């Protein structure tokens, strides 16, 4: 299938590792140039940029603190003039703190909500004028948005909010820009491994039809498709990529 991404420009937040970095590589493989949004992991962002360039595509780094609207605005203002417009936006940056609900502090709650819910809103609002007609936006939620999570209630609440922010943005930006959500199951990223450590033994075999957790590339492939012009009649949708959780 031709995803029609040749010479397009994709902006990915959280592209310094995990699913975001995998998506950056796949966009480049499909012929797109990539803006690599990141927070503190400069080394990971530079490694991702090197991988994109090795595939013959352009890569730019964009550092920002997603929890601060002004930081997002300034970072976008500093993008090179050669970036005339953006064809795909992937809101993939995430942050989690594993803490039981009864022990959650207000500071932890605010920090996780700020990165996982406020940040996507700030970035989407600030970048809206740069999105080209026909652009595809993908938010990245989590199975926790549907199920809740006893050890990271703040993360689950933020991701549930992100699902509905997606629907609101799809309404607001139609018909020129599509906005969809990809909702992964537990994925073997550094953050996902923290979640795995809280689960009962044999969780994947008991709960998932596919009896395993996802690799980052498996989620990234869906993200790139949904963001691409190949998914031109999708908007306001949430796509579950969770290995058949709870269908046993």
Q: What is the spatial distance between Cα 25 and Cα 52, in angstroms, rounded to a whole number?
A: 6
The pLDDT assigned to 196 comes to 87
Look at residue 226 and tell me if it is in a domain. yes
Burial class from Cβ neighbours inside 10 Å (0-12, 13-18, 19+) for residue 69 reads: middle
Q: Find the farthest-apart pair of alpha carbons in the chain and give their distance in angstroms, rounded.
A: 52
Look at residue 227 and tell me if it is in a domain. yes
Look at residue 209 and tell me if it is in a domain. no
The tens digit of pLDDT for each residue in 20-61 reads 999 999 999 999 999 999 999 999 999 999 999 999 999 999
Instruction: Please give the C-alpha separations between residue 10 and each of 27, 109, 136, 146, 240, in angstroms, as whole numbers.
Output: 7, 30, 9, 28, 22
The pLDDT assigned to 192 comes to 87
231: containing domain: 9-186+217-240
Q: Rounded to the nearest 5°, which phi and psi values hold at 46?
A: -65, -35
The pLDDT assigned to 246 comes to 75
The pLDDT assigned to 243 comes to 96
The pLDDT assigned to 183 comes to 97
CATH of the domain at 91: 3.40.50.720
Look at residue 85 and tell me if it is in a domain. yes
Q: What is the spatial distance between Cα 52 and Cα 196, in angstroms, rounded to a whole number?
A: 30
**Helix (H) / strand (E) containing 179:** strand 178-184
The pLDDT assigned to 1 comes to 81
Look at residue 23 and tell me if it is in a domain. yes
Q: Is the confidence at residue 248, as pLDDT, over 80?
A: no
The tens digit of pLDDT for each residue in 121-171 reads 999 999 999 999 999 999 999 999 999 988 899 999 999 999 999 999 999
- Say which of 38, 122, 155, 203 is annotated catalytic: 155
* Helices 42-54 & 18-29 angle (0-180, nearest 10): 20
Active site residue 155: yes
The tens digit of pLDDT for each residue in 81-100 reads 999 999 999 999 999 998 99
Look at residue 157 and tell me if it is in a domain. yes
**Domains: count for the chain:** 1
DSSP 60-105: EEEE--TT-HHHHHHHHHTS-TT---EEEEEE---------GGG--
| pTM of the complete model | 0.96
Look at residue 65 and tell me if it is in a domain. yes
Q: What is the spatial distance between Cα 164 and Cα 178, in angstroms, rounded to a whole number?
A: 14
Look at residue 164 and tell me if it is in a domain. yes
């Amino acid at each position: 299938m031709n995803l029609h991404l040749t010479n397009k420009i994709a902006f990915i937040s959280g592209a310094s590792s995990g699913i975001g970095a995998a998506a950056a590589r796949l966009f480049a493989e499909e012929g797109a140039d990539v803006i690599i949004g990141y927070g503190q992991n400069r080394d990971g962002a530079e490694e991702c940029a090197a991988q994109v360039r090795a595939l013959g595509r352009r890569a730019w780094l964009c550092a920002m603190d997603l929890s601060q609207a002004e930081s997002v605005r300034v970072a976008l203002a500093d993008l090179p003039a050669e970036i005339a417009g953006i064809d795909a936006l992937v809101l993939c940056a995430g942050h989690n703190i594993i803490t039981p609900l009864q022990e959650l502090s207000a500071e932890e709650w605010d920090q996780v909500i700020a990165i996982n819910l406020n940040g996507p809103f700030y970035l989407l609002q600030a970048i809206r004028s740069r999105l080209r007609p026909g652009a595809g936006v993908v938010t990245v939620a989590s199975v926790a948005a549907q199920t809740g999570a006893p050890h990271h209630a703040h993360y689950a609440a933020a991701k549930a909010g992100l699902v509905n922010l997606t629907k609101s943005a799809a309404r607001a930006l139609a018909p020129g820009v599509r906005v969809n959500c990809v909702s992964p199951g537990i994925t073997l990223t550094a953050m996902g491994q923290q979640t795995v450590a809280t689960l009962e033994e044999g969780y994947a075999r008991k709960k998932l039809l596919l009896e395993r957790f996802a690799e980052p590339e498996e989620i990234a492939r869906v993200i790139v498709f949904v963001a691409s012009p190949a998914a031109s009649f999708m908007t306001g949708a949430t796509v579950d990529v969770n290995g058949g959780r709870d269908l046993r």
